[in-house]
Amino acid sequence: MCELLGICFNKKVNVGLSLNSFKQRSNMHPNGWGIAFYPDEFVRVIKEPIKMNDALLAKCVRWINIKSKIFIAHIRKASAGKVSYVNTHPFVRKLGDKEIVFAHNGTLYDYWDLELDEFYPIGETDSEYAFCYLLSQIKNNKIEWGGEGFDALLDILYEINSCGPFNCLFSDGEYLFAYKDYEGRRNLYFLKRTPPYKPIKLIDEDYTVNLGDIKNPKEEGFIIATNPLTNENWQPFKNGELIVFKNGEMIYSNKRLSDLELKILKILRESPHRVSLRDIIKNLNDLPQNIEYDESVVKIGIRSLLDKEYIKQDGRDTVDWNDLEATFYTKPERRAEIDKKLKELRWS
């Protein structure tokens, strides 16, 4: 078994605090450690096939000022493949003009029945094989990120998951994807961190830190981990759940309403009339928050809400749903449910 750590914030952040807690678990996962991050459009990966607690390089990573909006870290307990650099997570491949990084927790069986095309593993692990299959399917099916694209991506993850326990994190530097095994055979949690920041206690060591002393008050975002790292309000992933994060915001989930979707619903519920996509984007960016929304992200939220049947496009429209002049309203029969869910607009 291995452990995963993912971070996605609205601003570039330092990962030292989370790594301080994460490294303590390497005593039970001694066969390798690695971290990937995007200081610019290209990924950097640092990894070694040794225990993280014994790694001088890991200490350097924790204390130097590495900053990125997205991090993926992994500590390994080898279950497939020897202890070596090429078998150490995270793995990286180029897909189109993006560098994709991937890390996995679990053990797959009969995965060689998954047919590869163009992308092939360098090492011996089931994890890297699954990554290559994922990329092959994304390319062959011409999947683009968005509501329908995320649904297609989920089908591929389910197919891989059919070979055995499968939790994973992957990113292209813009989006962070987190998926939990559909039978719940591995843990996965997320935490939303928002200001004002307060003192917290690390679970794996007797250490308390006041986040207000070290965090930029305009920073906010999500931390994903196999098991909670602090005494904060961590939320469990649902079995078979794919959550997509961007710029410190949860923008998609197949099992729950994302923060973005809740904000869109709030805008629609507060309006006495139908609201255009153009005005939804404007209203989102007028909210007192540290997140900025572009058109493509808001369309992801709209598409998901349409698919989940919380909203409806007005029948008088003469444009497609993704046109800026398209208008929407909440479905009357779901408004009581929506009003109840709006109380969850921010994770505490």
Active site residues: 2
Confirm if 45 and 101 have CB atoms less than 8 A apart. Answer: yes
Confirm if 261 and 345 have CB atoms less than 8 A apart. Answer: no
Q: How far is CA 88 from the centre of its chain?
A: 21
Confirm if 274 and 327 have CB atoms less than 8 A apart. Answer: yes
Question: Which residues fall within 8 angstroms of residue 72, CB to CB, at 6 or more apart?
Answer: 4, 5, 6, 7, 35, 36, 37, 90, 101, 102, 103, 169, 170, 171, 176
Six token digits for residue 30: 């001694």
Cα separation values, 327 from 181, 264, 268, 275, 282, Å: 37, 12, 10, 5, 14
Q: How far is CA 258 from the centre of its chain?
A: 12
Residue 191, SS3 per DSSP: strand
Confirm if 245 and 175 have CB atoms less than 8 A apart. Answer: yes
Instruction: Tell me the helix, strand and coil percentages in the chain, rounded to 5.
Output: 30, 25, 40
CA atoms of 91 and 127, how far apart (whole Å): 9
Half-sphere exposure of 262 (CA within 13 A, CB side): 17
Six token digits for residue 105: 């927790």
